[in-house]
Amino acid sequence: MASVPPAQDAAATHPVTPAPPASTTIPAEHVAQPGSFLSSVFGDNPYFQAGFGLMGMGVGLTVLRQGLVWGTTALRRRMLVSLEINNKDRSYEWFLAWMSRQNQVAQQSARVPWVRSHQLSVETIVEQRKNGSSSALFNLVAGPGTHYFNFRGAWMQVKRERETRSMQLMSGVPWETVTLTALSRDRFLFPQLLAEARDLAMRGNEGKLVVHTAWGIEWKPFGQPRRKRPLQSVVLEPGVSSRIETDIKAFLDRRKWYADRGIPYRRGYLLYGPPGSGKTSFIQALAGSLSYDICLLNLSERGMTDDKLFHLLSNAPERSFILIEDIDAAFNKRVQTSEDGYQSSITFSGFLNALDGVASGEERIIFMTTNHLEKLDPALIRPGRVDLAQVIDDASPAQARLLFNQFYGGSFKVTGLSDDAVQAMASELHDIVSDELSAGKRVSMAALQGHFILHEAKDALASCRDLFARR
Ligand code: ADP
């Protein structure tokens, strides 16, 4: 039987090796390499394997995400150029109009207009005419949100954002910005794009008259630009049109003269006379002939205050006439202040103040019209406020003759009617008008125009006496 040797014997025969100090290298075969150690401990553990895999993936993703952040930041820094335009700037509207134009062009050529074309806004423009008729036009523009488009080979992102919490002071229009980001290092793309948008806007207005109206304290184009009316189509008493034209041209040539003398560079015109004599038509045609815009100011508008008026008069767009119609009507009533302190109209002194207040060197041309000169306060008509006052009256014999010729002569002549025949009829009308005038009866140019639109030359002449009335 085998005997187990006593412990001391064992110790004697197998001397105990002292425990190796910590620094002593453990024989390689006893040391697990990290992998092999872990795998030796956890190798067969499926839970660990899955966990380790997940951890690896997590690390990988973090690195990837970090890389992406770095990448995009670097890309943004090196490759992307951004531009922000807010709706206080004129280029804002040009740009939106340009975008909507790109959309139209794309739709016409059956291309996909925007990557996200369902975010459209509609801009409705309602044009109200003097005779009460109106027309509405719809403009589809890129709505708030993100859109993409390609401009000269570079992709661009457009973000249109609307600030819902704050409004522009007075005008009540929400703040908006568009941020353009181009995936391109070409910094000149934006100026190119904006120049294209501006040119498009300008081209659309070429040969057109732009009428602005007040929106709170801002001027905004109203309706679509209208076709310019030729100056000579408004038939005034001989010499009247050229008197005003010469005056305004002389004024426009004397900017330096005014500046050198420190005089405010402004000029005021007052056209007075009965309704339908062509006052408004003439001012609009004159603006068109000088390539000026019209800023239509309605003094009786609800919400108009002295402060707003002052601001509007000092901040009209460049190259524009300020047109204030029926100036007498605005001051007939006293200022009414309701309980909540709402001031429903401007004061006369506030108006004078606004007229005088434009002390800057900026050009200011103001046209005023009235049907009742006698109702105007002399303080308003003094030089400096009104520099040229001109009566525009009912039809004179000469005006009636000219209007008749314009309607029925030249290219408008009906067949079978010779030039001489038209001239003879026009002369006859001339005599009828002088006849009626000496009997104290008058007719407006608007009434004559309406009559000529309805009748052929002969009928028009035959029935024209019915139009005259004592006034
Ligand atoms: P006012 O401003 O004097 O009231 P408008 O300019 O509004 O007159 O004219 C009203 C209409 O009559 C317009 O359609 C215009 O074409 C026509 N009309 C008035 N006066 C003239 C004129 N002197 N020559 C040509 N058309 C005229």
The complex's ipTM works out to 0.99
Q: CA-CA distance, 345 to 299, in Å (whole number)? A: 7
Q: CA-CA distance, 178 to 162, in Å (whole number)? A: 9
**Closest CA relative to residue 292, chosen from 284, 300, 281, 302:** 284
Which positions ≥6 away from 66 have C-beta within 8 Å? none
Of all protein residues, the one whose alpha carbon is nearest to atom 21 of ligand 1 is 278
Q: Is the CB of 446 under 6 A from ligand 1?
A: yes
Q: Is the CB of 281 under 6 A from ligand 1?
A: yes
Q: Which residues pair with 84 in a beta bridge?
A: 179
Q: CA-CA distance, 176 to 161, in Å (whole number)? A: 6
Q: Is the CB of 182 under 6 A from ligand 1?
A: no
Compute the distance from residue 276 Cα to the ligand 1 centre, in Å. 5
> How far from 350 is each of 47, 263, 295, CA to CA, in Å?
85, 21, 19
Compute the distance from residue 443 Cα to the ligand 1 centre, in Å. 12
Q: Is the CB of 278 under 6 A from ligand 1?
A: yes
Q: Is the CB of 279 under 6 A from ligand 1?
A: yes
Compute the distance from residue 245 Cα to the ligand 1 centre, in Å. 18
Of all protein residues, the one whose alpha carbon is nearest to atom 14 of ligand 1 is 446
pLDDT, one tens digit for every residue, the chain (471 residues): 444 444 444 443 444 444 444 444 444 444 445 445 555 555 566 666 667 677 777 777 888 888 777 776 666 666 677 888 887 777 888 888 888 777 767 666 665 555 444 566 666 655 555 455 555 656 566 677 788 888 888 888 888 887 766 655 555 566 788 888 888 777 788 888 888 888 887 777 777 899 999 988 889 888 878 888 999 999 999 999 999 999 999 999 999 999 899 888 999 999 999 999 999 999 999 999 999 999 999 888 878 888 899 999 988 998 999 999 999 877 654 455 555 555 557 888 888 988 887 656 689 999 999 999 998 999 999 888 999 999 999 999 999 999 999 999 876 666 678 889 999 999 999 999 999 999 999 999 999 999 999 999 999 999 999 999 998
Compute the distance from residue 416 Cα to the ligand 1 centre, in Å. 30
Query: Would you state the structure tokens that stand for residue 217, as one six-digit string?
Result: 């304290």
Q: What is the DSSP string of 76-145?
A: HHHHEEEEEEETTSHHHHHHHHHHHHHHHHHHHTT----TTTT-EEEEEEEEE-TTS-EEEEEEEEE-SE
Q: What is the phi/psi pair of residue 390, to 5°?
A: -140, 130
**Which atom from ligand 1 is nearest to the alpha carbon of 273?**
3
Q: Is the CB of 236 under 6 A from ligand 1?
A: yes
Compute the distance from residue 110 Cα to the ligand 1 centre, in Å. 46
DSSP at 310: H
**Closest CA relative to residue 288, chosen from 229, 374, 238, 367:** 229
**Which atom from ligand 1 is nearest to the alpha carbon of 271?**
3
DSSP at 343: B
**Which atom from ligand 1 is nearest to the alpha carbon of 233?**
25
Q: Is the CB of 449 under 6 A from ligand 1?
A: yes
Of all protein residues, the one whose alpha carbon is nearest to atom 12 of ligand 1 is 446
**Which atom from ligand 1 is nearest to the alpha carbon of 235?**
24
Query: Would you state the structure tokens that stand for residue 395, as one six-digit string?
Result: 């039809």
Question: pTM above the 0.80 mark?
Answer: no
DSSP at 20: P
Amino acid identity for residue 362 in this structure: E
> How far from 322 is each of 75, 270, 365, CA to CA, in Å?
50, 12, 6
